[in-house]
Structure 1
Amino acid sequence: MAAMTSTARPLLNRRLAEFGTTIFAEMSALAVSTGSINLGQGFPDTDGPEEVREAAVRALRDGRGNQYPPGPGIPELRTAIAAHQERRYGLTYDPDTEVLVTAGATEAIAAALLALLEPGDEVIALEPYYDSYAACIAMAGGTRVPVTLRQDGAGGGAADGRSFRLDLDELRDAVTDHTRLLLINTPHNPTGTVLTREELTAIAALAVERDLLVVTDEVYEHLVFDEAEHIPLATLPGMRDRTVTIGSAGKSFSFTGWKVGWVTASPALVTAVRSAKQFLTYVASGPFQYAVAEALRLPEAYFEEFRADMRAKRDLLAGGLEQAGFKVFRPAGTYFITTDIRPLGESDGFAFCRSLPERCGVVAIPNAVFYDHRERGAPFVRFAFCKRTGVLEEAASRLKTLAA
């Protein structure tokens, strides 16, 4: 057999040339090879409610969802999603035309951007941002325009008065005649910021004024703490028909492996997103869709207990990080804590995270991977606290060696 001839043309599409193996794969492999506690990737180390898991088992045994489910998602789940949006936020969606089930929120983001962008369209995203945003914008041929959330000592929901805030003037200045879409994430990963009503009202006014579409990633909607409040952008004047709202069962019910997400939007927007989605996975997670439909009908007590448990874990890990010498930005939402390593005499988050497993047996993620302006994220490191209490206690104990 003849050997493959070499070519000067790169194998990887130029749009994806800047994206290699994700930092999550690298750091998770490092956790395994060193036997470290993995506080890098954001997945719980316990399953969600037993009744939800049993609902998936019943669906499997009853033969529901073992073959291809309907393209938009099973009717039971679409109805449950619409009921959830109305019950919690007063948003009314038609389950048949305004709800779409996806293979997790990541596919929802990809499908929305592929459907709604033309090559050259500009997308404004809040930096730092989840790494799939940049890749999906690139695959759609768009141009990402980061607007950086900056440290603010004035408060805004963080328990210790230190958080990251959106500069609304900077956001307005970033909009050009080529801007097509705003990509908003609240509660925000990785900073833990929850956008306020004032900030969201300003974003809505800007979108209406400049006739922009908005995609909102709200997968952490049930994980807000203290005085913070999650306000869906679609509830604000002029926003329902221009907003694609993305939700996820993985973050709300601790079944991240099931990959069940969804989109709610106007019929025209859902039709557009579905046109792209059908050529990605087409359908996924059949039996789990039935279980998530039951999960969305859980009583409010579940969500209150879930938040209280995560808030206690946040405080446990935040306290341990502070004792270790980090500057801690206590999050108002999500299950991530951003820290500043400069009080430890460090300034390079990549080098710090790569050495941390050997130094004290803990894995974290350098926030710089979430920035276009890498230097702005260089001293920040993210830890996940969605782990068992004993694991967090052991991690805090190991991290204290840094204080020496």
Structure 2
Amino acid sequence: MPNISKRISLFSESAIARISHMAETYEAINLSEGFPDFPPPEALRNRLKDIASQGPHQYSIDSGAQNLRQALANYRQTFAGQTLDPEQEVIVTCGGTEALMTTMMALVDPGDKVVVFSPFYEAYGTDVLLAGGEPLYVPLGQPDFTFDADVLEDAFRQHPKAIILCNPSNPCGKVFSKAELEIIAGLVQKYDAFAIVDEVYEHIVYKPTEYTYFSNLPGMYERTISCGSLSKTYSITGWRVGYIFAPPHLAAALRQLHMFMTISAPSPLQEAAVTSLGFDRSYYEGLREVYTKKRDIVMKGLDAIGIPHNVPQGAFYMLMDISEYGYDDDTAFCEDLIRKLGVALVPGSTFFHEDVHNLVRLQFAVKDETLYEALNRLEGIHCMKR
């Protein structure tokens, strides 16, 4: 038999998927997979019921249903103040995952370098490698996950094709300040690079933190591909409706590749998703209040137990410090935690290029009662000390 593709050796099974499978086996509370465990808004569910009988049920145009692209352009105008042409600057993708992969494949040639901040969502490094590129990892220093501008410029001196920026960040909940983004923008321009911005958590930002759209910074729109998804904002991760905002000269290339990657996102779900983009600002304020409450429940509970953690500024993740429990292997800690206490978290080493084994990631996009039960179980964590 011939050998399988060499690119398969570039990555292994997702640690998040492996932990989730183990959580199911032990009937543990799963705080590893980053998706809401509560339903989408009722208006969205009702619209989907109508579409189930009315359609559409066939392929949409490859760049996405026209009414959804127009709704996305209106949405961008409302929140980012940008006026986009839905025919030339908006592409609907099969989830944010495809948006990122299409962007990477369209921009990166074999041998090109891409700057990636560490910690990072596990797909980023893999996407770069699958495109034939080389990740250049730049550490975000703890506890506030800021970067050293000199270290970042050292990476840019290697003339990367692009930088990928997750803002707000998975896994640490970092929201980059305007001043930080201006430093990044200056380097992108100075070294003639692109910026790929993952904005999937743009509406989950905690007061008093302010969110800045990177593509609004001077000189950045023409160099920025903004990737997003409706998944987390509307609790529809299974719908697989994502999008790309890009200037026409880049969107044309992205659209061409996207057509051969997935043809189109699911047509019935595109049609239903239009409803969500019509929600007024009160929906997004309510979303922030919901997640602020959940974040505060977890932080108060961890503080009471005595487990150190960072304070996320956005998204619905935080990192817990497990140094005092005597484990030099964070994966072994997470496996023991499932077996002994029935709570599933993700090994922090999954997200770091550096040799970090004292952190684990907790996601809190679950019902309040689930959080309270998980915290109740974590009260027994001190028995895990070695």
With the shorter chain as reference, the TM-score category is over 0.9
Alpha-carbon distance, 1:347 to partner: 4.0
Map 1:216-227 onto structure 2 (within 5 A).
216-227=197-208
Alpha-carbon distance, 1:121 to partner: 0.4
Secondary structure of the residue aligned to 1:246 is: strand
Is the Cα–Cα contact under 8 Å of residues 64 and 264 in structure 2 kept in the other structure?
yes
Counterpart position of 2:368: 389
Counterpart position of 1:149: 140
The superposition leaves residues 351-381 of structure 1 with CA deviations (integer Å, 9 ceiling, x where unpaired) of 11111011211000011111222x1x31110
Secondary structure of the residue aligned to 1:328 is: coil
Alpha-carbon distance, 1:16 to partner: 3.3
Identity %: 35
Counterpart position of 1:139: 130
**Aligned mates of 1:271, 1:347 — CA distance in 2:** 48
Secondary structure of the residue aligned to 1:151 is: coil
Q: Which residue identity lines up with residue 21 of structure 2 in the other structure?
A: A
Q: Which residue identity lines up with residue 381 of structure 1 in the other structure?
A: V
The superposition leaves residues 192-238 of structure 1 with CA deviations (integer Å, 9 ceiling, x where unpaired) of 00000000011111111111111000100000002111211100000
Counterpart position of 2:319: 338
Map 1:211-250 onto structure 2 (within 5 A).
211-250=192-231
TM-score under structure 2 length normalisation: 0.96
Q: Which residue identity lines up with residue 382 of structure 1 in the other structure?
A: R
The correspondence for 1:14, drawn from 1, 6, 10, is 6
Counterpart position of 1:169: 150
Unaligned runs of 5+ in 1: 153-162
Q: Which residue identity lines up with residue 169 of structure 1 in the other structure?
A: D
Is the Cα–Cα contact under 8 Å of residues 156 and 187 in structure 2 kept in the other structure?
no
Is the Cα–Cα contact under 8 Å of residues 126 and 184 in structure 1 kept in the other structure?
yes
Map 1:354-373 onto structure 2 (within 5 A).
354-373=335-354
Q: How many residues align?
A: 383
Alpha-carbon distance, 1:26 to partner: 0.8
Alpha-carbon distance, 1:18 to partner: 3.4
Counterpart position of 1:127: 118
Counterpart position of 1:33: 25
Q: Which residue identity lines up with residue 352 of structure 1 in the other structure?
A: F
Map 1:4-403 onto structure 2 (within 5 A).
5=1, 10-11=3-4, 13-64=5-56, 66-152=57-143, 163-373=144-354, 375=355, 377-403=356-382
Secondary structure of the residue aligned to 1:216 is: strand
Unaligned runs of 5+ in 2: none
Secondary structure of the residue aligned to 1:251 is: coil
Is the Cα–Cα contact under 8 Å of residues 137 and 353 in structure 2 kept in the other structure?
yes
The superposition leaves residues 294-338 of structure 1 with CA deviations (integer Å, 9 ceiling, x where unpaired) of 101101111111110111111111222223332110200001111
The superposition leaves residues 53-73 of structure 1 with CA deviations (integer Å, 9 ceiling, x where unpaired) of 111222222122x10011000
Alpha-carbon distance, 1:271 to partner: 1.0
**Aligned mates of 1:188, 1:176 — CA distance in 2:** 24
Alpha-carbon distance, 1:286 to partner: 0.9
Runs of 4+ in 1 over 6 A off after TM superposition: none
Secondary structure of the residue aligned to 1:179 is: coil
**Aligned mates of 1:82, 1:168 — CA distance in 2:** 34
**Aligned mates of 2:215, 2:122 — CA distance in 1:** 24
Q: Which residue identity lines up with residue 361 of structure 2 in the other structure?
A: R
**Aligned mates of 2:123, 2:8 — CA distance in 1:** 11
**Aligned mates of 1:171, 1:178 — CA distance in 2:** 12
**Aligned mates of 1:324, 1:348 — CA distance in 2:** 22
Is the Cα–Cα contact under 8 Å of residues 327 and 343 in structure 1 kept in the other structure?
no
Alpha-carbon distance, 1:47 to partner: 1.0
Alpha-carbon distance, 1:275 to partner: 1.9
Counterpart position of 1:157: none
Counterpart position of 1:159: none
